[in-house]
Structure 1
């Protein structure tokens, strides 16, 4: 069971390693984004040694907010993500499907993923996404007005090529994100079945079906998180499950630790069949 460094935002990458060590997570999924430490192999290696927590996976810098991290060429960024995973001893790279405006990248994406996996022990697990809303994507008044005439600011747009569902293309390995299925209005059990044995990485979270990506603590939304975990146990799932939740509203570090501990407890119960020990951080969060 891993902890995504994105789960501690606005705290930094080192804080994620500290929480993982204190709470009993097995490893880290490193989100590569604007923070310089997240981009530095040497810095992350130092955190691994300091906290005794390995890096299980790398999340490539493919978010809208990380379009300029490691340059502007998504082809070279995906290759660099794989090489970074190799250097850090991680066995998985998580990547989103290309955006529609990344035409050259989109045209060669499936071939690049296959070639990278052929040349490396690292797997590239393509993540399910969701349609984005016009009022989220376009903040300029002119753009919003044009979209309103076409159906309103809540109009859903398919911004990924060819689809936000990677099974529409077909890859050897997938990441299943339960917050993204919620936002997309998709059935995660059916999607997991379509992914089949290619499902190798789980972003454990929850959602209530909002138009934006919620990343709630599992069990606090409407997604069938427990049922999905049971399905994975029955199928012999041997990949990583990673907590990727939103803790930005936590008022204190103890509150954040409590949210992270509840996520770990859910995973241990439903994926590992036992309860984690109560940590000092999570005990303090109750007071």
Structure 2
């Protein structure tokens, strides 16, 4: 449980616009992009964040546009193919891939692109990353929201690769942590205009989510609403099922007039049936609706609820 008083949160009258709640297509993996559209339409999500990865439909503007029309669900954001598992999607040049992500967002009518900080070994990309992000934003109407990440830890695996963990054990022993990102896994170490706050990543990194949200300030444009207990692997639990201050972060966004997007990005790979996956996505949406709608967030906070551990997702 997280105590509200720890952050000195004053209760102010709720204000600001309605916060749109989207579903990340990654949340339905191992089902495909069309399945994400179907779940979003059936459950009442406001839109989708399109994760661009190996599935061909996710890379195809025409195919995604057809799904938008079929299900009447808009694409609110595009997640650039910057995961380890998508290093070869749209080629090997991360500079070109970020620009293509922005053009894809423009074509789909999405207002945001989510991107991770560069990996340390992407030296040319890392050297010019901040300038490229700023230039792309100035040239178009798409926000590029740089996401907080987490270090690799020797007591776990990074991207499922045991060799990475073994290298860390040799270098630093059990529990050693090394950032794979440049200049760090905290994007506020650079001066970006816009940020994505991921609450599963704060758990894995051991970062104070509320303090990070406050550092992001008015640049906080995108929320990945999930949860975690601080495991060495990225968990992406249903919000409210871990130890992150999900309620407090949601209340902070409402209180500060957040006009960005909130996206459910959870791991449903352990769902045994489509019905079970649908239930997990519905629980997450209900949590977001309860705590991100101004009037309901205020009444809920008066009852003293916080985002504590409610069991496995």
TM-score range, shorter chain: over 0.9
| 1:188 equivalent among 199, 204, 209 | 209
**Paired residues of 2:157 and 2:165 also in contact (CA < 8 A):** no
- Equivalent residue, structure 1, for 2:18: none
Query: Mind listing any 5+ residue stretches in structure 1 that lack a counterpart?
Result: 276-287
Gap change, CA 1:51 and 1:145, over 3 Å in 2: closer
Partner SS for 1:2: strand
Provide, for residues 66-121 of structure 1, a one-character-per-residue CA deviation record: whole Å limited to 9, x for no partner: 00000000000000000000000000000000000000000000000000000010
| Distance of 1:274 and 1:239 partners within structure 2 | 19
Q: Does 1:227 pair with 2:248?
A: yes
Aligned-residue offset at 1:146: 5.3
Give CA-to-partner distance per residue, 1:14-62, whole Å, 9 cap, x none.
0000000000000000000000000000000000000000000000000
Aligned partners of 2:152 and 2:165 also within 8 Å:
no
Specify the SS of the correspondent of 2:221.
Answer: strand
Aligned pair partner of 2:39 in 8, 14, 19: 19
**Matched residue, 2:236:** 215
- Secondary structure class of the residue paired with 1:124: strand
Hey, what's the Cα distance between the residues in 2 that align with 1:111 and 1:145?
35
Tell me, yes or no, if the aligned pair for 1:144 and 1:153 is still in contact at 8 Å: no
Do the aligned partners of residues 68 and 149 (structure 1) sit closer, same or farther apart at CA in structure 2, a change above 3 Å counting?
closer
Aligned equivalents of 1:105, 1:19: Cα separation in 2:
36
Counterpart of 1:204?
225
- State the TM-score, normalized to the length of structure 1: 0.92
Instruction: Give the equivalent residue in structure 2 for 1:243.
Output: 264
- Look up the match of 1:159: 180
The aligned residue for residue 284 of structure 1 is none
Check conservation: 1:7, 1:247, Cα contact below 8 A.
yes
Which runs of 4 or more aligned residues in structure 1 lie more than 6 Å from their structure 2 counterparts after TM superposition?
none
Q: TM-score, normalised by structure 2?
A: 0.85
Indicate how the Cα distance of structure 1 residues 253 and 118 shifts in structure 2: closer, same or farther if over 3 A, else same: same
Of 153, 176, 194, the residue aligned with 2:197 is 176
SS at match of 1:247: coil
**Which residue pairs with 1:262 in the alignment?**
283
Q: How does 1:1-287 map to 2 (within 5 A)?
A: 1-134=21-154, 135-137=156-158, 139-140=162-163, 147-152=168-173, 154-272=175-293, 273=295
Per-residue displacement from partner, 1:191-240 (whole Å, max 9, x unpaired)? Answer: 00000000000000000010110000000000010011001100000100
Q: CA RMSD in A?
A: 1.4
Q: Aligned with 1:68: secondary structure?
A: coil
CA distance in 2 between counterparts of 1:34 and 1:150 reads 33
Unaligned runs of 5+ in 2: 1-20, 298-313
Change (3 A) 1:73 1:269: same
Output the CA distance in 2 between the equivalents of 1:230 and 1:144: 37
Give the total of aligned pairs.
273
User: Residues 145 and 163 from structure 1, CA distance in 2 versus in 1: closer, same or farther, beyond 3 angstroms?
Assistant: closer
User: d(CA) in 2 for partners of 1:16 and 1:145?
Assistant: 35
8 A contact 2:153–2:165 mirrored in 1? no
Change (3 A) 1:168 1:144: closer
